[in-house]
Copies of this chain bind each other. A is one copy, B any other.
Amino acid sequence: MSSAALLAIGDELIAGRVREGNFPPLIAALGAHGWRVGAARLCADDAADIVDAIHDLCAHHNLVLTTGGLGPTEDDLTSAAIARAVGVEQRRDASAEAMIRAYFAAVGRTPSEVNLRQADLPIGAVALRNPCGTAPGFVLPYGSSQIVVLPGVPREVLAIAETSLQDWLAAHEGTAPRRMSRTLSVAGLPEAALGEQLRDLMQRGGPVLIGSYPGAGEVRLHLEADAAHADALESVAREVESRLGAHVVSRSGASLEAVVVQRLRERGAQLAVAESLTGGLVMARLIAIPGASVCCRGGVVAYDDAMKVSLLGVDASLLQREGAVCEAVAVAMAEGLRLRLGTEFALATTGVAGPGADERGNPAGRVFVALATGSGTQARALSIPGSRLDVRERSASAALDLLRRALG
């Protein structure tokens, strides 16, 4: 039996203030090492609840993984509750203490006694290094089960899953059938239209499961099968790609911005971005990609008309006559910035994020994006439903997608 269970610990989860988000990456990490997750629970920061859940889950699963409640404050009870569930004391663990000291040393600080309290582990536990937080995780055997205890901060969970937990799992492989998966990233197609095009493939029954997960202007398609059906997985993936054509951003799950940065680097080309309603979002998404500094020179957030004139060289009389929300202004912004910075490509966005219409009566969601290149400028008009945030994120995606398609 290689059955795993997850337990997310936190008042904020059980009170509905925070949405649980660590399960999906942990399930993927476990699955890659032959562990199938059979149960997942949330529980409060309550010692009795944690003890009960640990006893119950360890009776049915031989790997139990918890998240949350390892912080330095008084509401963090997990380590003590796990010790109680297993029937051991806690004591200062030298290896965990060394990890905490090293983490602080790396940032030129010294841990306080409160920080070091995070090294008080149940006796018999082995510390797991946390590359981006102060609380180490740990692994504790209990009967025929292993309990893996992690902090709850999502970025710390991800970092541990990729490093110390990964190493531990590699040394403790399960025997559940390996699953294989492929993730495709798709842009420029609403989820309903996507569902329509793939309806027959998405029906259950076959060996390949397909799930679609919409983001802001980008949909991720997840294809999954037992490793024994690798051929079926590949052939369904090829069928999906052939039906969706140029809407497929990547066959690796890489995002729009990652694909754009990669293609710019391959060409040795440089990009600048002039943003109005997206207010820096296009550039922020690009710069989040490692290596973006080579090809993204920078940009201007010209949120008001005077800045569009002074920083981008947009014609003041055009703004006066047509207002800022029109195709001609998007084109002028992109061309103006391209000229000023001498880059091969320049993107621009202008539009109404909402919630209401603008003073000229342009409705929320009316957006223009433009791309200026050495061989001419193209623009797209969009009408985007949803909240202010939706409109801004989808506008940023539309601009990035315009460039992606131009980069071939």
Contacts and interface: CB of A to CB of B under 8 A. Distances in A.
Interface stretch (A142-150, A164-172, A282-290): A282-290
B287 A280 contact: yes
14 contacts: A15-B37, A45-B211, A71-B195, A73-B198, A73-B202, A107-B384, A114-B196, A132-B386, A159-B387, A279-B283, A280-B281, A280-B287, A290-B355, A298-B307
Interface stretch (A22-30, A226-234, A315-323, A400-408): A22-30
A337 to B, nearest CB: 10
Contacts of A39: 14, 41-43, 49
Interface string A369-389: 000000000000001111111
Interface string A12-53: 111111111101111110010000011111111100010000
Given A24-B19, A301-B299, A14 B40 contact: yes
A40 B42 contact: yes
B307 A311 contact: no
A302 interface: yes
B298 A311 contact: yes
B40 A28 contact: no
A19 B23 contact: yes
A278 B280 CA distance: 10
B299 A280 contact: yes
A40 to B, nearest CB: 4
Contact of A300 (B44, B56, B298): B298
Contact of A213 (B12, B195, B281): B12
Contacts of A210: 75
A388 B23 contact: no
Nearest to A23: B16
A44 B38 contact: yes
A180 interface: no
Contacts of A205: 74
B279 A284 contact: yes
Specify how many copies of this chain sit in the oligomer: 2
A97 interface: no
Interface string A67-100: 0000111110100000000000000000000000
Interface string A212-229: 111000000010100000
A100 to B, nearest CB: 10
Interface in A323-341: 340-341
Contacts of A213: 12, 17-18
A307 B341 contact: yes
A241 interface: no
Contacts of A390: 132, 155
Nearest to A297: B304
A279 B287 contact: yes
